[in-house]
A and B are shown apart, each in its own frame.
Chain A
Amino acid sequence: MGRPQHDMTTVAAVNDQSGDSMTTPTSRRNRWLVPVAGLGAMALLAGCARNAPQDTWQPAGSNARKINNLQHWPFAIAGVVLVIVASVVVYSIFKFRDRGQAMPAQTHGKPALEIALTVLPALILIGIGIPTIRTVFQLAKTSDTQCIINVTGQQWWWEYDYPVQSGCGAGIKEPIVTSGEFVIPAGENVLLRITSRDVIHSFWIPKLNGKRDAVPGRIQTLRIEADHPGIYDGQCTEFCGLSHAYMRMDAVSLDAASFNTWTANQLKAYTAPTDAAGKAGESAFLANCSSCHQVNGILSSDGTPVIARPDLRVWSGAAPNLTNLMTRTTFAGGSFDLLTPSCRDNLRNASPSDFSAKYLQGTSPQCLDAVQLREWLRNAPAKKPMYTTGNLSTTNGKTRGMPNLGLSENTIDSIIAYLTERK
């Protein structure tokens, strides 16, 4: 039945005694000091990370810079106040600690001091409040934006559509829709009109501006601007369900000419595959994917346009448009890379002057990380948790996310071959 309890207690007590007899007060202090100092150093060093794509202290546009500039002074003032208060507290603790002395004389009411301690914080708050309010109004301004993009969140991806407009580079003649990442012209003030199809999400690309909630039934505006071409990462910051952590976003900034090239490419007519593998892939796509995913211009076997109806199967009523999938660098709502790690690094580490041209190359067959895409097509919910099975009564039997389609390996090969040509 195991060893008697008192035997174990005795052994432990002996060990403790032997330990205590070898431990000096100084070494006991050091035992705490080292981990605490280590943790402090780690916290400090974390701020020095070079690869910190979502660092709000490294603004890459005028709007984020306004926020960054705003926070310097309050931090400085708060730091000074902290030092003063902490110093006075520490001084008082040591100076007036109980040493058995008599109770000092108690005084009540120092009008001059009390007025000063009321007026001073009020002045500090006013000093902080004026530039804060001014910045809030500057960030809410929409009259000087040159490009509008509708941003629609749903579990767990973002859809971006470009309304017909005269702005946005050379103008948008027909609407463009994409997902996971969106492209903006560098140096242009872009107005995002943010909403949601299902639950509340929150849109945040720290290097370009602050957060904005995506609320069903509301259109919230957010202005962004990127100084230079590049990719700016973001993350949904309102817990929105199972795969909230996978709900990422990328803003891609291109130079003006490249942006116009990109928009023209997004609107080019559909090209049906001509080779056997591509045709098989198109058939597989039509059979398995097109009920939810739209590819603009695709025709069914009888020549009629195929119109996706995700509203019949998906709770949010939408699924990513895959017309130009390979012009993007991510899939599944920005959750996974289409590019292999080396191609990804090559693109992301490109200089601003080289970036636009490299991005326009899209995901080539050589750079396609087919392993990730294959895993996704094999069993999507296993790669990104989604509500696709079990009790779906609360959503009228509709799924939230892409279900496991049970595709064969041959079908997956065909679909990947077809999607590889979508650029």
Chain B
Amino acid sequence: MFTTGSKLFIGGTVLALTGTLVYGIGQNGSALGTIGMVTVTIIFAFLMGINFWVRDSNVSSMDTAGIETCSAASKPAGRSIWPLVGGFGLALLPVGLVVGKGLTWMSVIVMLIATVEWMAQSWSERASADPAYNEGVRKRIMHPLELPILGAIGLGAIIFSFSRIMLRIPKSAGPVVFGGIAAGVLLFGSLIATNRKVGRSLVAVLCSIGSVGIVGAGVASAIAGGKHVAKHELAAVTNDGDNCTDVQTEADSHSSRAIAAKSNLAATVILENGKLTALIAGENGVPTDTITIPKSLNAFIRFENHDSGKFRLRAYLGYTVLAADPTSHVNDIICTQAVGKGGTQFMIIKPIHASAAIANDKNHTPYTLTVPGVNDTAITIEVP
């Protein structure tokens, strides 16, 4: 008669041997992995042999009376789902090796779960002759492990389902749907709290239906795919003035009219009556037409348009010689989106050449802030 422990190690040995064969063939005998799997098989076989010999260490193999009266022999082991689960995992393994990593990992995880659960069940069934006590022992050992994992999986499934549903339903319908669900949950919870006659089984059934409904809708949404999201052109940050002209693009039609940045500004640049002026912290509100910005330092500039029409701020910060063709260069230009009257935009500039150093360079022109479409006004940027 095989003892319970022996059965486990027989299963382990067969599992490891099968895995070794599948992996070894699948990987064309990849040395390291195959050696590892062979080692695992040998270890399982060794443990199986010891277990056979010592009869699960419960009683002496020669003591037949002890065998007949020991707790493991007092009641046959109950039915277990875990060999079936383990078999499912094993069957999944070769499929995963063909299909992809995800399925392979899933099979390994399923087999691990089956192994651990089967071991725990087998061990607990031999704890005493009292099945109720044995079940209690199993719960005490396994619940701290099972419940958090099951809870996390359940929560993860619901959260993931929610996200899929949200991505699927129209943007305007999202608040309505989830507002409705939230109201339903609140109403349901209130009813349970105030009406003590509601049975636990009814609550469990309703919760299960709700969970299955959400997960089902999530799966359906995931299969259907997310809704179409129109991709808008981003801010017109570009080189060589491609989009930094007075011609407006799609980006300008979506420009924000307000920005949060009100502090840490190197300057606030204002377009008013066709003229650009700059306000600098510490200049006590006196407008200036020159701002000084340290090199190699991000400087934050706020642009305010006080004129009618949509305008953008454009910064010229010299040029960069092309590495591929040292005789050519591109102008370092950056600009904001165009914004209407009363709107503000934000710009970050980082000059790297000292303006004093380039003063004698015939190729350089002064660094400036200008507004395309508004002539004869500019803010000079000095870089010490």
Taking Cβ atoms with an 8 Å cutoff, the residues of A that contact B are 142-145, 148, 150, 152, 159, 161-166, 174-177, 191, 193, 195, 197, 217-219, 221, 294, 296-297, 299, 304-311, 316-318, 321
Whether B358 sits at the interface, judged by CB under 8 Å, is yes
A163-B280 contact, Cβ under 8 Å, with A197-B297, A318-B295: yes
Lowest 5 A-B CB distances belong to which pairs?
A: A317-B296, A163-B292, A177-B384, A175-B384, A161-B384
Q: Across the interface, which residues of A come within 8 angstroms of B283, CB to CB?
A: 148, 165
The residue on B at minimum CB distance from A267 is B356
Residues of chain A within 8 A (CB-CB) of B290 are: 164
Check if A163 sits within 8 Å of B296, measured CB to CB.
no
Given contacts A163-B292, A164-B290, A217-B298, A309 and B352 within 8 Å (CB-CB): yes
User: Is the CB of B264 closer than 8 A to any CB of chain A?
Assistant: yes
**By the criterion CB–CB under 8 Å, are B282 and A145 in contact?**
yes
Interface contact B284-A221, CB-CB below 8 Å = no
Q: How large is the interface on B (under 10, 10 to 19, 20 to 34, 35 or more residues)?
A: 20 to 34
Q: How far is A312 from B243 in the complex, measured between Cα atoms in Å?
A: 28
A299 pairs with B360, CB closer than 8 A: yes
C-alpha spacing A407/B18, complex, angstroms: 68
Assembled-state Cα–Cα distance A97/B383 (Å): 73
Given the complex, which residues of B lie within 8 Å of A197, measured CB to CB? 296-297
Chain B 337-373, CB within 8 Å of chain A: the 1/0 string? 0000000000000001111111111000000000000
A-side contacts of B361, CB under 8 Å: 304-305, 307
Report which of A164, A174, A219, A296 forms a contact with B265, defined as CB distance below 8 A: A219
Query: What are some 23 contacts across the A-B interface (CB < 8 A)?
Result: A144-B284, A148-B280, A161-B294, A174-B356, A175-B292, A175-B355, A175-B383, A191-B282, A195-B294, A197-B297, A219-B263, A219-B265, A294-B354, A294-B357, A296-B357, A296-B359, A297-B356, A297-B357, A304-B361, A305-B358, A308-B354, A308-B357, A321-B354
> Chain A residues with Cβ under 8 A from B356's Cβ?
174-175, 177, 296-297
Given A308-B357, A317-B295, are A148 and B382 neighbors across the interface (CB < 8 Å)? Answer: no
Least CB separation from B298: chain A residue: A217
- Chain A residues near B296: list those with CB within 8 A: 197, 310-311, 316-318
**Given A163-B292, A177-B354, A197-B297, 17 other A-B residues pairs in contact with their CB atoms under 8 A:** A145-B284, A150-B292, A152-B297, A164-B288, A164-B292, A166-B286, A177-B384, A195-B297, A219-B265, A221-B281, A294-B354, A294-B357, A296-B356, A297-B357, A306-B357, A308-B354, A318-B295
B378 at interface, CB cutoff 8 A? no
Name the residue of chain B whose CB is nearest to the CB of A192.
Answer: B282
In the complex the two chains form, what is the Cα distance from A296 to B357 in whole Å?
A: 5
What residues of A have a CB within 8 angstroms of the CB of B288 in the complex?
Answer: 164-165
Contact of B357 among A142, A218, A221, A305 (CB under 8 A): A305
Nearest A residue (CB) for B355: A175
Query: Complex formed: what's the CA distance from A159 to B382 in Å?
Result: 16
Query: Is B111 in contact with chain A by the CB < 8 A criterion?
Result: no
CA distance A161 to B284 in the complex (A): 19
Per-position 1/0 for B234-275, Cβ under 8 A of A: 000000000000000000000000000001111000000000
CB of B291 within 8 Å of the partner chain:
yes
CB of A142 within 8 A of CB of B264, answer no
A142 to chain B: closest residue by CB = B282
Interface contacts (Cβ under 8 Å), in number, total 103
* In the complex, residue of chain A having the shortest beta-carbon distance to the beta carbon of B291: A163
Say yes or no: B282 contacts A193, CB within 8 Å. yes
**Nearest Cβ distance between residue A37 and chain B, in whole angstroms?**
52
Which residues of chain B in 151-172 are interfacial with respect to chain A, using CB atoms and an 8 Å cutoff? none
Residues from chain B with Cβ under 8 Å of A305 in the complex:
357-361
In the bound assembly, the distance between CA atoms of A73 and B295 in angstroms comes to 45
Q: Which residues of B contact A321 (CB under 8 A)?
A: 354, 384
Q: Give every chain A residue within 8 A of B291 (Cβ-Cβ).
A: 163-164
Q: Are A148 and B264 in contact (CB under 8 A)?
A: no
Asked if B357 and A307 sit within 8 Å, CB to CB, the answer is yes
Also in contact, A219 and B382, with CB within 8 A (given A297-B360, A311-B296): no
Residue A296 contacts which of B286, B294, B354 (CB distance < 8 angstroms)?
B354
Q: What separation, in Å, do the CA atoms of A164 and B292 have in the docked complex?
A: 6
User: Chain A residues with Cβ under 8 A from B384's Cβ?
Assistant: 161-162, 175-177, 321
Tell me if B282 and A148 are in contact (CB < 8 A): yes
Residues of B within 8 A of A177 (CB): 354, 356, 384
Shortest Cβ distance from A311 into chain B, in angstroms?
Answer: 5
A291→B343 CA distance, assembly (Å): 42
CB distance from B112 to the nearest CB of A (A): 38
Closest to A296 in B: B356
The answer to whether B294 touches A159, judged by C-beta atoms less than 8 angstroms apart, is: yes
Which of chain B's residues 292-328 have a Cβ closer than 8 Å to chain A?
292, 294-298
Q: How far is the CA of A297 from the CA of B361 in the complex (A)?
A: 10
**A195 CA / B357 CA spacing, docked (Å):** 23
* B285 → chain A closest CB, angstroms: 8
